[in-house]
Amino acid sequence: MFKRLFLLLLVPAWLAQAQVPTLPLPEDKGQPVGQVVSHVVQDGDNLAGLARYYGVSPILIMAANPGKDLFLLKDGDKVTIPNQLLLPKAATKGIVINLAELRLYYYPENGEQVHVFPIGIGRVGRETPEMSTQISQMRKDPTWTPTANTRKEYEAKGIPLPAVVPAGPDNPLGEYAMRLAYGSGEYLIHGTNDPLDVGLRASAGCIRMYPEHVEWLFAQVDKGTPVQIVNQALKVSTDQYGQTFMEVHEPLTPSGEAGAPLDLTPVVSLFEQGIDQRQVDEVIKQQQGMPKMIGQLYN
């Protein structure tokens, strides 16, 4: 649905290229990373363009702006860009992908910053699995060998596919692809020839990135780079002062659909340490995908 709506919108020239989002890591890893941005709409702005420019999934921008019609932006409107976040519970090394928030994290070896990118993930029935693996192959200008099922899907739309799609503008892998060692190697982190799919649940299981983002990432990593894929709709952290933050996204079912029950395990123990359950319940109800302070733990 989102993609069809985006296709009706033109992207202003100043929003045509995504930034490479770089966030400094605080010394206290329990604190939120980054800042919430308030964007003042200019003539011609639209949701697809803002998502690409700021490097945030359109789904997350919509969640951060409840009640606003982001498909009919007007000059002077203010749009909240959720560029503040809690780090997923995973090793801060190499690539970490959190399916629930449609984000890829890249931790360079210097340990001083993290680069955070919007991604497209598997659609319902072709979900991207959780895994702990590594990059097994780096491919510039990759060819694409569609599966029999994929060819049938395209043929049903009146689009016949060859046995092997050569590199070029018609290749859905874009110009760069990184194969993962998981399974039989069927999962890739790659670019796309259709940037409107980035930030949505629309792929056949692979991880899609904007062309400029995947080009940058391709130059940073290599074969053997660790990759962790997690599905954490609820993230919690506590800083050195006991301040506790929670970030909630709409959870996905194992088959990739939205609306699954939220796993409350990370917060259950907090109630015994002084966190007000009512504040927790309110953040869960809102599911705005931004860190909220829910209280301070007893010292």
Residues carrying an active site annotation: 190, 206
Residue 269 token pair? 């123990």
CA distances for 293 relative to 78, 79, 245, 248, angstroms: 23, 21, 4, 12
* Torsion sign (Cα): 152, 156, 157, 159: positive
- What is the residue whose two structure tokens read 């049938």? 152
State how far the Cα of 280 lies from the Cα of 254, in Å rounded to an integer.
Answer: 24
Angle made by CA atoms 141, 196, 172, in degrees to the nearest 5: 25
State how far the Cα of 235 lies from the Cα of 65, in Å rounded to an integer.
Answer: 20
State how far the Cα of 176 lies from the Cα of 215, in Å rounded to an integer.
Answer: 6
Q: Which residue from 78, 72, 75, 34 is spatially nearest to 56, judged by alpha carbons?
A: 34
Q: Which residues pair with 122 in a beta bridge?
A: 203
State how far the Cα of 294 lies from the Cα of 32, in Å rounded to an integer.
Answer: 13
Provide the greatest CA pair distance for the chain.
65
Residue 98 token pair? 């959190």
